[in-house]
Structure 1
Amino acid sequence: MSIKTICYLSFGYPTIEKSIEMAGRYIEGGCDAIEVSIPPKDPYRDSAFLQELYRVALAQTDDYSKYLEGIGRMTEQYPSTEFFFVLYHEVIMAIGAEKLGEFCEKHHIVNVISGDLHDPEAIAALRKHGVKLARSVNYKMNEDDIQRCINTDGFTYMQAFPSEGQYVKPGFEELETCIRYLRERKVSEPIYCGAGIKSPADAARVKAAGGQGFFVGSSIIKLYDTPEKLVELIREYKKASQN
């Protein structure tokens, strides 16, 4: 049994048109879903690598209506592919939760990941349009994060592997332990794992630990200039998740 291969697309990097082209390459490689970000102006939660992608995109345009227009064209070009958003609170509020909800409903985008969206009115506006709000948890295993995962109607984004020097809650050093605990706590929606996945072997580790999907990002983004290698790498990730 395979698990879901989810490819990350930093929309607007290096241009909007290039992003749409890369989505096609992801699909050619066999990904099951594409996670789409719109660049925030204050990416305080992300790595230096992702911050640079956002900077390049925003240098092209900081008009979020142009990002939505491009994403809309992308979803229409690839209607059989599942797309979902990963968005900062800042971006959601800049677009407007109602407008974003309408966009998601029109383009069949069901899931939105936001690690810092806690505004009840914005959440209600999104849910009015059928959006499910995914929640995230990491190796700190913070109780507030766990409660949000229990209560949400979207999937749980579990950090795949801790970064060097990161705090890890004692007793939760292994991904399998974290996933098992979340299930014991009645997290009932799918658990997808991201961050720290650098090779197909890591995808196999996620599958062995009980994850139902995995996110791959930087390792394929770095191959944008060699699309044949990018497609082949995605195929290798997918194969590893099936064995």
Structure 2
Amino acid sequence: MPAGRERVANAFDKARGRHRPAVIPYFPLGYPSLEDSLEVIKALAQAGADLIELGIPFSDPLADGPTIQHASQLALAQGMNVSAALELVVRLREQGLEQPFLFMSYLNPLLAYGLEAFIRDAGRVGVDGLIIPDLPLEESLPVRRMCQAHDLAFVPLIPPNLAEARIAQIAQGATGFLYLVSVTGVTGARDSLPPDLGAFIRRVRQITPLPLAVGFGIASPDQVQTLYPLADGVIVGSALIQAVAKSVRPAEAAADFLGSLLHAVNGVGYA
């Protein structure tokens, strides 16, 4: 069974073979409760998520908008922390989930746990990659080396206002894929995609052979559909959380929401 960077690469290859983008839901661990989040993630996997981004809640999530901030606060109130997040991954893997898992965490909780211990433990329990939004490139080399040692993909964020030289520097240290931020600002569902998003994706495509996944603001099946074949993957978080928040059956709501995205992208590729 492949794991780590190989599992991430295989997920993108599989989606590409189906002529569609990899659909990557983001969900915060511990929301709306620890057990509910476990059931939501299982439902996302069963519904066909290609990769799953697991958020480790943090008290000051600078890159996140109101929806994820609120969910993170509720998860923290439920006692969610780094140790609990690792334990949830153990339970998910024990229940047979095979999709690549990407931990998304800000730096402070990982420093409190111990960076090297965290990356070692994440790889041990079945995490395949790591996203740290507030880790600057200039400070990332130790983390990148630890990820390489434990076979975790290191996935940096690329905002749309970066110069080509800076994008190339960041891409050189990445493994797995690049997370393209569709807008300057914070996460949150939006009614439309930026008009220059396609040009941004094409600009990064000329710099790196890595798969490109687009996130921040993607909310609807139509938006997901329009991004292929420009993007290799789409990341959807706030809209998913909103769908879960409106339902008394969180796992069912998550599966229905993801199903609508997958229905939109299946068969959108080449005629």
Normalising to structure 1: TM-score of the pair?
Answer: 0.87
1:18 is matched with: 36
Going from structure 1 to structure 2, the CA distance change for 1:153 and 1:230 (only over 3 Å counts) comes to closer
* Cα shift at 1:75: 2.6
Residue 54 (str. 1) matches residue 76 (str. 2): no
* Cα shift at 1:138: 1.8
For the 8 Å contact 1:159–1:193, the answer to whether it is kept is yes
**Which range moves more in the overlay, 27-36 or 104-113?**
104-113
Unmatched 5+ stretches in structure 2: 1-18, 187-193
CA displacement 1:118-144 (0-9 Å, x = unmatched): 343333223221122111112212553
The RMSD of aligned alpha carbons is 2.2
Taking the aligned partners of 2:240 and 2:140, their CA distance within structure 1 comes to 33
Residue 230 (str. 1) matches residue 267 (str. 2): no
Taking the aligned partners of 1:27 and 1:12, their CA distance within structure 2 comes to 17
Task: Specify the SS of the correspondent of 1:14.
Answer: coil
Work out which of the residue numbers 147, 153, 163 in structure 2 matches 1:126.
147
Residue 239 (str. 1) matches residue 239 (str. 2): no
Taking the aligned partners of 2:174 and 2:253, their CA distance within structure 1 comes to 37
Task: Specify the SS of the correspondent of 2:231.
Answer: coil
Taking the aligned partners of 1:3 and 1:228, their CA distance within structure 2 comes to 23
* Cα shift at 1:220: 2.0
- 1:89 aligned partner, one-letter code: L
Unmatched 5+ stretches in structure 1: 165-171
Taking the aligned partners of 1:161 and 1:240, their CA distance within structure 2 comes to 23
2:12 is matched with: none
* Cα shift at 1:145: 4.7
Task: Specify the SS of the correspondent of 2:20.
Answer: coil
* Cα shift at 1:199: 0.3
CA displacement 1:32-64 (0-9 Å, x = unmatched): 111001011221221121111111111111543
Residue 144 (str. 1) matches residue 159 (str. 2): no
* Cα shift at 1:107: 2.8
Task: Specify the SS of the correspondent of 2:235.
Answer: strand
Work out which of the residue numbers 23, 28, 51 in structure 1 matches 2:46.
28
Q: May I ask how many residue pairs the two structures share in their alignment?
A: 234
Going from structure 1 to structure 2, the CA distance change for 1:160 and 1:76 (only over 3 Å counts) comes to farther
Work out which of the residue numbers 189, 192, 206 in structure 1 matches 2:213.
192
* Cα shift at 1:28: 2.8
Normalising to structure 2: TM-score of the pair?
Answer: 0.78
| Larger RCO: 1 or 2 (CA < 8 Å, sep 6+) | 2
